[in-house]
Amino acid sequence: MSANPQHTPYHPRWYRAPMPIFWWVRRWIHARFILRELTSIFVAGYALVYLLQLRALGMGPEAYGRFLELLQSPLSISLHGISLVFVMYHSITWFNLAPRALSLRLGGRRVPDKVIAGLNFAAWAGMSAALLWVTLTG
């Protein structure tokens, strides 16, 4: 992501080589960057599906039952399977970058990046287990 998104239509002071639209497909590291950015579509997409499920929940048992049936369709299962890969890619890349966003100091020493990332992954596992437990016992 660029720091300053401000666009100015004219650049009289320097020459900018024209970039092809799909500049990022030629190198894997660039494609991986775009894939990481595209995970946001699946994050928001699932947030919307979840919101629709809550809406159906509020509309009564029949509406909720119909929604659960919809979730059982092969199309829904496939889309959720693909989405799971992308949202997990989001989590992994997010936690791996956490040490760069958060610099912790303990006793005058910088906490190693691996420790910070490790704590994030542990929190992920813990929260996932907690939600699974709530579902199983609720």
Partner 1 sequence: MMKRTIEPFWWSLFGAGGTLAALFIPITLFINGLAIPLGWLAAPDYENVLQMARHPLARTYLFLLISLSFYHWAHRFRFTLYDGLQLKHLNLLIAVICYGGATVGTVAAAYTLINL
**Nearest distance from C-beta of residue 79 to partner 1, angstroms:** 8
Q: Please report, as ranges, the residues that interact with partner 1 according to CB under 8 A.
A: 1-2, 4-7, 9, 19, 21, 23-24, 34, 37-38, 40-41, 43-44, 46-51, 53-55, 57-58, 61, 64-65, 68, 71-72, 76-77, 80-81, 83-84, 87-88, 90-91, 94-95, 101, 123-124, 127-128, 131-132, 134-136, 138
Q: Indicate the residue among 83 and 111 with the shorter CB distance to partner 1.
A: 83
The structure tokens listed for 120 are 């994030």
Q: Indicate the residue among 76 and 108 with the shorter CB distance to partner 1.
A: 76
Q: What share of the chain is helix, strand, coil (3-state, %, to 5)?
A: 70, 5, 25
**Nearest distance from C-beta of residue 106 to partner 1, angstroms:** 21
- Checking 38-41 for CB contacts under 8 A at 24+ apart, the result is 38/86, 39/86, 39/87, 39/89, 39/90, 39/93, 40/90, 41/86
| DSSP 8-state class, residue 73 | S
Q: Indicate the residue among 47 and 115 with the shorter CB distance to partner 1.
A: 47
Indicate if the alpha-carbon torsion angle 76, 78, 82, 85 is positive or negative.
Answer: positive
Q: Find where tokens 């509309």 sit.
A: 59
Q: Indicate the residue among 43 and 111 with the shorter CB distance to partner 1.
A: 43
